[in-house]
A and B are shown apart, each in its own frame.
Chain A
Amino acid sequence: MGVTAGTVVRVNGPVVDVAGMDSVAMLELVEVGEARLPGEIIALERGTATVQVYEYTGGLRPGEPVEASGGPLMAELGPGLVGGVFDGMLRRLAGAPEFLEVGARPATLDRSLRWRFVPVVVEGEDLEAGAVLGSVPETPTVEHRALVPPRIAGRLEWIAPEGEYTVEEPIARVAGRELTLLQRWPVRRPRPVRARLHAGAPLVTGQRVLDLLYPLARGSTAAVPGGFGTGKTVLLQQIAKWCDADVIVYVGCGERGNELADVLQELSELEDARTGRRLLDRTVLVANTSNMPVLAREASIYTGVTVAEYFRDQGHETVVIADSTSRWAEALREVASRTGQLPAEEGYPPGLASALAAFYERAGRVRTLAGAEASVSVLGAVSPPGGDMVEPVAAHTRRFVRAVWSLDRDLAYARHHPAVSWRDSFCRDADALAGWHSLHGDWNWGERRVRALSLLAEADRIEAIAQLIGAGSLPDVERIVLLSGRLLREAVLQQSALSANDAHCEPSKQAALLDMVLALHDCFRRLLDQGVPATRIEETDLAEATRVRDEAGPGDVEAVEAVRGRLLATLGGLL
């Protein structure tokens, strides 16, 4: 762990060459210059190290000193993360000035806070790596569990009694090692688990189009590609607010500052429907806006997923939301071009695809070292330049994720929100989840989904024809498909993020709404068979079907079923 010192020889923006760095490692963290700017070693060549610096390097000169830290970029983990706002290197932003200074470095965790620690183990026990030592009520919703760090195991020689401790005070001694609430973990290395498990329960997002048509299993991965103005950020924020996970890590990676201010404000005002507590009490916000140092943006993805893995190892269901992975990829490209790497597609480094794969691979449902079942789900936004879906980030991401929720510009223009396209989206967990649903009492789940998707496809096909020849010239049987398709879009798939009743929807109401539309469609067909013309069906006032999603509460199945009953009765009267 000897500290090596070197000297700056070249400064080119955030890329700095340092001489005299003989015994340093790749990706080792260094402090550069008199301002002690943090940086990482990204290339080594005979005593000269190339360092990418995480801060603005203005004024940095050849000749200034560089100090190596002896290890890679680490995340500081412990109580105090939840409810906090951090930059891409996980430095606490609440402790930083209003306008961020270069080199000012508040730590992740507040050293002065005291946390209530309740031990759950007794001295003399043999503990494995990852075992739970005790718990800390971090927020009203998240119980923090202090763990034996990975790779440490053995006899518990001493455990602190119940009481209040700072993150630096010892709470246990295992096999001669003193442990504190604060631990460190290198952000680029996945935290170990006992085993990876198959997909189990769904991650309920509360967004109908996702849960009904393109659902995600806990521990799975999804990408949300969409051009600007298609509502990526709103959709991801809705998921951050309403999905049924224990801990959310929201990584604002190279995006708008005003948006993060908005998220922060809403999360501190909104209540979690399940716990009645503030949503902020289950959220860790990593905020590296587009004007903050670009290399900390590159790190933010890894720090975010490391925090999520840490809470997973405590047995929590966690979700990482990364908005946007394209900005992260651009940060990779920026470094690559400054270090003179040969560019591959569109200037991105050749390692882009493997870096994306490795990032999404950190998701998963696992058995933790402590033996619990827990998961990290990863959702990443993709912002393709010019809305071009074959550009490298969008194209490679599709290969590695379990679901793509593709946002469509035409839908967004038509104010159909969320603008998740049923033409370009996919989901590979659907079969597994259909099995899970039928084991948990919803036998029709898979069939309902398939019927909805085929109705949408059929309606699209007929709509294309109608645009050429006019809807009036279509046969009756096709006209009612158009009608049902419109109902499906307006009464089920559209969802208002601003409405108190509609912003999130419980699975029972989701199913009831879709069942209602499918039942109406069946009824239309029966009416046709019995000689009722399509025009009479079209003239029937079905607006109630569309209004009920907004007028009934998020879990009000009875209201939906009542509407369904009334409408079926009205239609029955056409005979």
Chain B
Amino acid sequence: MSAGQHIEYSGASSARGPLLVIEGVEGVGWDEVGEIHLDSGEVRHGIVLDVHRDWAVVEVFEGTAGLRLDEVRISFSGGPLRIPVGESWLGRVCNGRGEPLDGGPPIFGRERREVSGRPINPAFRETPRDAILTGVCAIDGLATLVRGQKLPIFSVGGLPHLELAAQVAAQSRVAEDEPFAVVFAAVGITHADASDVRDILEQRATIGDIVLFVNTVEDPLVERIATPRIALTVAEYLAFDRGRHVLVVIADVTSYCEAVREVAAARGEVPSRRGYPGYLYSDLASLYERAGRVRGRPGSLTQLPVVTMPAGDITHPVPDLTGYITEGQLVLSQELDAQGIYPPFDALGSLSRLMRLGAGPGRTRDDHLEIAAQLYALVARARQVADLADVVGADALGPSEHRLLEFAEAFRRDFLSQGKVEAHSLDDTLQRAWRVASQLPRRELSMVSTATLDAYYRRREEDGDAPSGPAG
């Protein structure tokens, strides 16, 4: 991140929020990075947001607190923000600007790349395929994560989304013989959360196939805008130059968007919905669309961003715009969390749009898509029955409806629910799925073919397919 040695300018003419105006500059380009030296010897970093004849507006990553206009000495790097790329990032823990926090040496690489990245040429994109197995039953079984996909976790403050994201980052794997890596970008999280994440990821860190970037709430707000881009630049190199399957976790995108909003406001831009700038969609796309696969290159870049919905509002601009760009969503539910279910996965709101490309015959297991569709359908019916029971009372329900309520309970306790350090193999996950589905009489599993039922359906003894009236 260090700037090359160029002319140094002394003194800023004004400061507002994180922005400084420097006058008398020459040859400074838009989006160029500058290094700011203060009298105390402190070094801060900034980026050019606007350049007009001989003055430049610079956004200071570390913020402008404690900075006097007359002490500013700034030199520009001659180009947009670049970082070294290489496999030397693996196993490292860094701050949001990519500087080591683990006491190790600075990170070098053979090549430096612009963090804004280059869009993948759509003509060379390859459709995502094959799964990343997370060891989390709800995700692997019902909303399989596909290599090259972007699948966000939609959550609300207070729910264990960070634990879930870290668990996925810690447990995820691809086939034995394929190189894998995780890049975890913690954006705007608390110190306590940051240390929890580091604990959860510790084992993976010792193996050395993870990079962790930590930008905490007290780190400068504008640094948050750079953190995901730095993480993605590192990940892109590992994926497309080194042929690894890379999972990038960004938590929390809402903090990132708030930083974008704050900077936009400081620049005096016309706000759009809820004060967010009108280009928030394009800005988010410039992160999310860096997921994918490229024809002729073996690796893939998959994203699992975490989006906390302010006040649980899915129409809030951040989840809404995210939903328009990403390929599905994993929704966490307060109701399940209150019942002590972890992960509190809301099956009806969740969807992996690319699941058919990553699961099923030739990909995971032949029965996978069928049993997943069946569970979704049963959960939807159970929800209707539960709603009905709220109105008419459980006593008024018929036997098949009672069975559905029992199924829903088993689904929560024996399928969704698992420990925070518990990883299930895919066979294990599907076995759990069949076990809960098999609590219902065979004829209720109408979405599964006869052959699949013959192979996997196991009716428990005590269920006894007693002749009851025609189903619901």
The chain A residues found within 8 Å of chain B, CB to CB, are 9-13, 17, 56-63, 85, 93-94, 96-101, 228-229, 252, 254, 256-258, 260-262, 264-265, 287, 289-292, 294, 327, 330-331, 333-334, 337, 343, 346-347, 383, 385-388, 413
Residues A291 and B290 in contact, CB atoms below 8 Å apart: yes
Known: A58-B32, A289-B119, A333-B272. A261 touches B127 (CB 8 A): yes
Residues A258 and B327 in contact, CB atoms below 8 Å apart: yes
Interchain CB contact (< 8 A) of A59 among B79, B120, B291, B325: B79
Q: List 12 A-B contacts (CB under 8 A).
A: A10-B51, A12-B49, A12-B52, A99-B117, A99-B118, A228-B324, A264-B122, A287-B122, A289-B285, A291-B288, A333-B278, A347-B270
For A387, what are the chain B residues with a Cβ–Cβ distance below 8 Å? Answer: 315
The proximity string for B residues 143-159 relative to A, scoring 1 for CB distances below 8 Å and 0 otherwise, is: 00000110000000000
In the A-B complex, list the 8 residue pairs whose CB atoms are closest, starting with the nearest. A386-B315, A290-B285, A291-B289, A58-B31, A99-B118, A93-B123, A261-B125, A11-B30
Of chain A, the residue at the smallest CB distance from B295 is A98
With both chains docked as a complex, state the minimum distance between the C-beta of A302 and any C-beta of chain B, in angstroms. 19
For A97, what are the chain B residues with a Cβ–Cβ distance below 8 Å? Answer: 121
Query: B residues 68-116 with Cβ under 8 Å of A?
Result: 78-80, 114, 116
Query: B residues 320-337 with Cβ under 8 Å of A?
Result: 320-321, 323-325, 327
Asked if B317 lies at the interface with its beta carbon under 8 angstroms from chain A, I say yes
With both chains docked as a complex, state the minimum distance between the C-beta of A395 and any C-beta of chain B, in angstroms. 15
Asked if B279 lies at the interface with its beta carbon under 8 angstroms from chain A, I say yes
Residues A262 and B127 in contact, CB atoms below 8 Å apart: yes
Of chain A, the residue at the smallest CB distance from B282 is A294
State A228–B319 Cα separation when bound (angstroms): 11
Residues B325 and A294 in contact, CB atoms below 8 Å apart: no
State A98–B28 Cα separation when bound (angstroms): 30
For A287, what are the chain B residues with a Cβ–Cβ distance below 8 Å? Answer: 122-123
Q: How many residues of B contact A (CB 8 A)?
A: 65
State A371–B149 Cα separation when bound (angstroms): 49
Residues A99 and B120 in contact, CB atoms below 8 Å apart: yes
Residues B125 and A11 in contact, CB atoms below 8 Å apart: no
With both chains docked as a complex, state the minimum distance between the C-beta of A411 and any C-beta of chain B, in angstroms. 14
With both chains docked as a complex, state the minimum distance between the C-beta of A52 and any C-beta of chain B, in angstroms. 13
For A229, what are the chain B residues with a Cβ–Cβ distance below 8 Å? Answer: 323, 351
With both chains docked as a complex, state the minimum distance between the C-beta of B23 and any C-beta of chain A, in angstroms. 13
Interchain CB contact (< 8 A) of B123 among A9, A96, A228, A258: A96
Residues B324 and A58 in contact, CB atoms below 8 Å apart: no
Asked if B292 lies at the interface with its beta carbon under 8 angstroms from chain A, I say yes
Residues A60 and B30 in contact, CB atoms below 8 Å apart: yes
With both chains docked as a complex, state the minimum distance between the C-beta of B132 and any C-beta of chain A, in angstroms. 15
State A99–B290 Cα separation when bound (angstroms): 10
Known: A58-B31, A58-B114, A257-B122. A289 touches B289 (CB 8 A): yes
Asked if B9 lies at the interface with its beta carbon under 8 angstroms from chain A, I say no
Query: B residues 138-184 with Cβ under 8 Å of A?
Result: 148-149
Residues A62 and B278 in contact, CB atoms below 8 Å apart: no
With both chains docked as a complex, state the minimum distance between the C-beta of A105 and any C-beta of chain B, in angstroms. 14
Residues B282 and A334 in contact, CB atoms below 8 Å apart: yes
With both chains docked as a complex, state the minimum distance between the C-beta of B267 and any C-beta of chain A, in angstroms. 9
The chain B residues found within 8 Å of chain A, CB to CB, are 26-32, 49-54, 78-80, 114, 116-128, 148-149, 269-273, 277-279, 281-282, 285-286, 288-292, 294-297, 315-317, 320-321, 323-325, 327, 348, 351, 354
Contacts A59-B79, A330-B278, A385-B317 known; 19 new A-B pairs at CB < 8 A: A11-B51, A59-B80, A62-B51, A63-B26, A85-B122, A93-B121, A98-B297, A99-B119, A99-B120, A100-B120, A256-B325, A258-B148, A287-B123, A289-B122, A290-B282, A290-B288, A291-B290, A330-B281, A346-B273
For B80, what are the chain A residues with a Cβ–Cβ distance below 8 Å? Answer: 58-59
Residues B123 and A264 in contact, CB atoms below 8 Å apart: yes
Residues B121 and A57 in contact, CB atoms below 8 Å apart: no
State A95–B117 Cα separation when bound (angstroms): 20
For A252, what are the chain B residues with a Cβ–Cβ distance below 8 Å? Answer: 122
State A171–B127 Cα separation when bound (angstroms): 41
Residues A337 and B315 in contact, CB atoms below 8 Å apart: no
Known: A57-B30, A58-B114. A228 touches B323 (CB 8 A): yes
With both chains docked as a complex, state the minimum distance between the C-beta of B30 and any C-beta of chain A, in angstroms. 4
Interchain CB contact (< 8 A) of A10 among B52, B279, B282: B52
State A258–B124 Cα separation when bound (angstroms): 10
State A252–B121 Cα separation when bound (angstroms): 13
Residues B27 and A63 in contact, CB atoms below 8 Å apart: yes
State A196–B73 Cα separation when bound (angstroms): 66
State A442–B125 Cα separation when bound (angstroms): 45
For A292, what are the chain B residues with a Cβ–Cβ distance below 8 Å? Answer: 119, 122
For A265, what are the chain B residues with a Cβ–Cβ distance below 8 Å? Answer: 127
Residues B122 and A260 in contact, CB atoms below 8 Å apart: yes
Among B27, B116, B282, B354, which residue has the most Cβ atoms of chain A within 10 A? B282
For A254, what are the chain B residues with a Cβ–Cβ distance below 8 Å? Answer: 281-282, 285
For A346, what are the chain B residues with a Cβ–Cβ distance below 8 Å? Answer: 272-273
With both chains docked as a complex, state the minimum distance between the C-beta of B95 and any C-beta of chain A, in angstroms. 23
Known: A62-B53, A100-B118, A261-B125. A291 touches B286 (CB 8 A): yes
Known: A59-B29, A290-B325. A261 touches B121 (CB 8 A): no
Residues A13 and B272 in contact, CB atoms below 8 Å apart: no
Among A10, A101, A261, which residue has the most Cβ atoms of chain B within 10 A? A261
With both chains docked as a complex, state the minimum distance between the C-beta of B286 and any C-beta of chain A, in angstroms. 5
For B351, what are the chain A residues with a Cβ–Cβ distance below 8 Å? Answer: 229
State A478–B277 Cα separation when bound (angstroms): 52
Residues B50 and A93 in contact, CB atoms below 8 Å apart: no
Residues B30 and A385 in contact, CB atoms below 8 Å apart: no
Residues B286 and A343 in contact, CB atoms below 8 Å apart: no
Interchain CB contact (< 8 A) of A61 among B29, B316, B317, B323: B29
With both chains docked as a complex, state the minimum distance between the C-beta of A498 and any C-beta of chain B, in angstroms. 8
Of chain B, the residue at the smallest CB distance from A342 is B270
State A94–B295 Cα separation when bound (angstroms): 12
State A265–B295 Cα separation when bound (angstroms): 12
Of chain B, the residue at the smallest CB distance from A57 is B30
Among B51, B80, B290, B294, which residue has the most Cβ atoms of chain A within 10 A? B51
Among A62, A291, A383, which residue has the most Cβ atoms of chain B within 10 A? A291
With both chains docked as a complex, state the minimum distance between the C-beta of B112 and any C-beta of chain A, in angstroms. 14
Residues A100 and B29 in contact, CB atoms below 8 Å apart: no
For A289, what are the chain B residues with a Cβ–Cβ distance below 8 Å? Answer: 119, 122, 285, 289
Residues B119 and A100 in contact, CB atoms below 8 Å apart: yes
For B324, what are the chain A residues with a Cβ–Cβ distance below 8 Å? Answer: 228, 383
With both chains docked as a complex, state the minimum distance between the C-beta of A536 and any C-beta of chain B, in angstroms. 14
With both chains docked as a complex, state the minimum distance between the C-beta of A10 and any C-beta of chain B, in angstroms. 4
Of chain A, the residue at the smallest CB distance from B356 is A498
State A94–B122 Cα separation when bound (angstroms): 9
Residues A56 and B116 in contact, CB atoms below 8 Å apart: yes
With both chains docked as a complex, state the minimum distance between the C-beta of B302 and any C-beta of chain A, in angstroms. 11
For A291, what are the chain B residues with a Cβ–Cβ distance below 8 Å? Answer: 119, 282, 285-286, 288-290
Residues B50 and A10 in contact, CB atoms below 8 Å apart: yes
Residues B327 and A256 in contact, CB atoms below 8 Å apart: yes
With both chains docked as a complex, state the minimum distance between the C-beta of A493 and any C-beta of chain B, in angstroms. 19
Of chain A, the residue at the smallest CB distance from B329 is A229
With both chains docked as a complex, state the minimum distance between the C-beta of A61 and any C-beta of chain B, in angstroms. 4
Interchain CB contact (< 8 A) of B53 among A9, A58, A262, A330: A9
Of chain B, the residue at the smallest CB distance from A87 is B122
Among B118, B324, B351, which residue has the most Cβ atoms of chain A within 10 A? B324
State A99–B50 Cα separation when bound (angstroms): 26
State A99–B320 Cα separation when bound (angstroms): 28
Among A60, A228, A292, which residue has the most Cβ atoms of chain B within 10 A? A228
Among A17, A61, A292, A334, which residue has the most Cβ atoms of chain B within 10 A? A61
Of chain A, the residue at the smallest CB distance from B269 is A337
Among B26, B29, B80, B296, which residue has the most Cβ atoms of chain A within 10 A? B29
With both chains docked as a complex, state the minimum distance between the C-beta of A292 and any C-beta of chain B, in angstroms. 5
Among A294, A343, A385, which residue has the most Cβ atoms of chain B within 10 A? A385
State A60–B53 Cα separation when bound (angstroms): 12
State A509–B185 Cα separation when bound (angstroms): 54
Interchain CB contact (< 8 A) of A60 among B29, B49, B315, B354: B29
With both chains docked as a complex, state the minimum distance between the C-beta of B455 and any C-beta of chain A, in angstroms. 23
